[in-house]
A and B are shown apart, each in its own frame.
Chain A
Amino acid sequence: MSSSETVETISRLIVELKPEVAEKVKGEARLQSEIGLTSVEIIDLVIAAEDEFEIEIPDDDTGELMDATVMDLARKVETLVHG
């Protein structure tokens, strides 16, 4: 899977989770301070991504993803998918 596809899939998961932020979802946008996801919603997103990609994201990484960008999350997913 190419990185743009991963970003696309994650963007879709975000919009499913919180439709009202759809316009703000971009690869370089920060999940919390720019897109406006709460910490609960970010953890929800991590669980949804785990289910979607059939991976397990370690807890330490989840903490660091709290104000990551969509791209950061996509990179994390890819290292786990390919790793």
Chain B
Amino acid sequence: MSSAPEIPLTLPDILARASETCGNRGLIFVDEDERRFTWTEIEAQAQRVAAGFQNLDGKPGDRVAIVCQGLRPLVTSFFGAVLAGLYPSILPTPINRRRLQGYLAHIGSIVRVAEPRFVVVDEDVELVGEPLMKEAGLEGTACAVRHDELIAASGRFDPYKPDPDEIAVIQFTSGSTSSPRGVVLPHRCIVANVQAIVERLEVAPGDVGGGWLPMYHDMGLIGNLLGATARSIDLVLTTPFNFLRRPRRWLDVMERHNVSITAGPNVSYRHLLERGEPLGRDLGSWRVAIIGAEPVDAELLAAFTETFGRVGFPRSGFMPAYGLAEVGLMVTGVRAQEEYQTVDVDREALEGEGIARPPSDGSNRVRIVSCGVPVRETSVRIVDEHGEQVADGRIGEISIAGSSVMREYFNDSQATAETLRDGWLMTGDLGYTQDEQLFVTGRKKELIIFDGRNYYPQDIERAVHGLELVRPGSVVAFGTSNGRSEGVVVVAAPRNPQHTEGIDERVRAVVSETLNLPVLDVILLESGRIPRTTSGKLCRGRCRDLYEEGKLA
């Protein structure tokens, strides 16, 4: 067997090294048979998939959309594509197989941008392969192929050695329904981030990862799967559905396999806290719980640490982190073994002046969790609206430079130019730094996140504009959050102020039908009373502030 280089620079190198060094370690799929699928077996199976692609005339640079329900076909299709030099994108599977319309519209829009040669499906979701290609207008140019057919078609595997600067993965962000973005990650970037992650986590051979995140998400693919590959450790995996459905069973699994590392957003830890029934267990192996993907909830961290502390979860367990798909995954994180830190700042100064300062006596305060310091080869800079760096404690847009920053958005030079400026990635997130530590405070982009999907207000406004009862050009949509969940508010001016009956229902119905998105509240205002800038543009941020203060009516 050829020996992998000292420091692997490509994903095939990383997998080869895992295969050589893993001993008996590998992936354990708890929803299937809990038998270990060793890294050596994974590499061998992935080579057969790669040979299958080659046998179907797949060429380096061809894109592959992977839509698999089973984790085993999903993982081997992913690595198989990589080993043949094809560019994989893992996409979500439908939750409800009887109501595919919304799914096909959403995922079809991603497939349209990716223009894959292959859509790989497995038995469970075979029925979506052809409709997805039809939805994306790719009939005749792409082919839907089942994972087991790829393996059956495989002949001799012709290893492909990618250059570190070649594309490894095109990672689609949960993106807006109308304009999905494919993050182009060369081998060099992805490997740099994976190495930085395992270093920050201090991953050792005895660690056991536990994962419930979807593989189409950067935390599932890069954090869980590739992080485990890079150190050839055991990784115990379940699906998001099964994790949510059976939280107590997942804690049984963590106990049984001595899981030491997990990762997830607030909602997953809250779910374990509220539904997991942790008391009476032994979770003493649990060493690191990465928490991120949204501003981290300080109250949740305290409550979780208190309750799970009684069954062995360490005080230094939580690792609040900040990251995004455009850098692979991780930008900053609290160091392993260190306890997370929170600071209380003055709410008025934070929201009014954009300054983080200690609260004056009795004033309204807000508690913010530190997301730690940058991982290696990564720099964070907070900039104002002119792109100038601001001082510590001042809120601005978080920008990032470093070895793992994406090359571009796939086939989208405009979005790339808006996001990459002079070597810095503009994240659209707001925050401030204090002594190297990053504190995330919100989003600059007026993006609305509901149920893990991103929506642009423009898409919602466009849907409402289609209603005859509403005055054109006088519709504003924004997201509001109560800390636990987000909701969408639509402000609209009736075309005829005497004719307001039924508008509320029509707005809700049209947004629900077009975007499958529920509306929390509809506010009807005369056109002149909707907040605008001096140049007459609608002010979504101002609307949201007024709404949250109860002054928009």
Q: Which residues of A contact B (CB under 8 A)?
A: 18, 20-21, 30, 32-36, 38-41, 43-44, 46-47, 59, 62-64, 66-67
Contacts and interface: CB of A to CB of B under 8 A. Distances in A.
Interface string B516-553: 11111000000000000000000000000000000000
B518 A34 contact: yes
A18 B96 contact: no
Contact of B487 (A36, A44, A62, A63): A36
Contact of A63 (B96, B274, B451): B96
A2 B77 CA distance: 50
Contacts of A21: 520
A39 B518 contact: no
Contacts, number: 61
Given A34-B508, A38-B450, A44-B275, A63 B95 contact: yes
Given A20-B482, A64-B98, A33 B512 contact: yes
A36 B450 CA distance: 9
B275 A40 contact: no
B97 A38 contact: no
Contact of B96 (A34, A43, A46, A66): A66
A43 B97 contact: no
Contacts of B96: 63-64, 66-67
21 contacts: A18-B485, A20-B482, A20-B520, A30-B512, A32-B518, A33-B512, A33-B516, A36-B520, A38-B452, A40-B451, A44-B274, A46-B245, A47-B245, A47-B247, A59-B241, A59-B242, A59-B245, A62-B241, A63-B95, A64-B98, A66-B95
B271 interface: yes
B105 interface: no
B98 A33 contact: no
Query: Which DSSP category, helix, strand, loop or mixed, fits chain A's interface?
Result: helix
Contacts of A32: 451, 516, 518
Nearest to B274: A44
Contacts of A64: 96, 98
Nearest to B519: A36
A39 B275 contact: no
B366 interface: no
B508 A62 contact: no
B504 to A, nearest CB: 11
B516 A40 contact: no
B273 interface: no
Contact of B271 (A34, A36, A39, A44): A44
Chain A CB within 10 Å, residue with most, of B96, B518, B519: B518
A27 B23 CA distance: 56
Contact of A33 (B241, B274, B518): B518
Contacts of A33: 512, 516-518
